[in-house]
Amino acid sequence: MPPSPTNGVAVGQLAAEWRERLRKGERPELDDYLRRYPELEDEIRELFPAVVMIEELHDRGAQG
């Protein structure tokens, strides 16, 4: 059942899934999520790139 768009839980759960997939070395497609959850388009577009950026950066930053 698709997550409800009525609160932050739905997009948060998707962001957590997105984060886990990135950590596993997968390259999930933003468009795939937009197709599956059109009702969350604005939040996905706003938040998912930020998740990618943080995940890409933090391990390098941790070495400093």
Cβ at position 3, least distance to other proteins in Å:
10
Taking phi first (over 0 means left), then psi (-120 to 50 degrees means alpha), and beta for anything else, what does residue 44 get? alpha
Residue 21 contacts residue 28 (beta carbons within 8 Å): yes
Among the listed residues 1, 31, 32, 64, the single contact to other proteins using CB under 8 A:
64
- Total of residues contacting other proteins (CB under 8 A): 25
State the DSSP H helix or E strand holding residue 23, giving kind and residue range, or none if neither: helix 8-23
- Using rule CB under 8 A, residue 26 touches other proteins: no
**Which residues of this chain interact with other proteins, rule CB under 8 A?**
7-9, 11-13, 15-16, 19, 23, 43, 46-47, 50-51, 53-58, 60-62, 64
